[in-house]
């Protein structure tokens, strides 16, 4: 009887673990092609711009793969370089819209992360002793 119950739990566990999550939206597809596709949709890039942006993003991806152990500062510097190159590809109207999208994204990220360390209440010192 014990073996039957254990086998039943095992079957239920395996079945629930093996569920397919294809209906869940995929996050974080940062391939150069997908990034260009998103930017094209957002900013209405022409064919020449699409090719330039694709090359830029491919170069960025290659640099990231070549350099293991990027520090946070190095990653930010790499992103700034890419952003500066991107700004030369976009028209003034597209650049305005891109900058607005970037600001909106930063706002969403800030809201999701709770605004940073400065917004946290300070913990009382003293090891959490209780009053009598």
Nearest to residue 45, comparing CAs of 36, 58, 55? 36
* Distance in angstroms (rounded) separating the CA atoms of residues 26 and 34: 12
Q: What is the DSSP code string of 21-57?
A: -TTSPP-----HHHHHHHHHHHH---HHHHHHHHHHH
Read off the pTM: 0.58
Q: What is the pLDDT of residues 113-122, one digit of tens each?
A: 655 544 445 5
**Given a cut of 70, is residue 52 above it in pLDDT?**
yes
Tokens 């090891």 locate to: 127
Give SS3 for 11. Answer: helix
């Amino acid at each position: 009887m014990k073996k039957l119950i254990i086998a039943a739990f095992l079957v239920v566990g395996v079945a629930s673990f093996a569920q397919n999550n294809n209906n869940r939206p995929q996050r974080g597809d940062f391939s150069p092609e997908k990034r260009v596709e998103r930017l094209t949709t957002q900013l209405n890039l022409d064919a020449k711009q699409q090719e330039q942006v694709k090359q830029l993003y491919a170069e960025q991806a290659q640099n990231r793969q070549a350099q293991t152990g990027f520090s946070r500062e190095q990653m930010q510097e790499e992103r700034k370089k890419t952003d500066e190159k991107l700004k030369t590809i976009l028209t003034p109207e597209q650049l305005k819209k891109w900058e607005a999208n970037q600001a909106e994204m930063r706002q969403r990220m800030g809201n999701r992360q709770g605004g940073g360390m400065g917004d946290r209440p300070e913990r009382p010192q003293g090891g959490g002793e209780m009053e009598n």
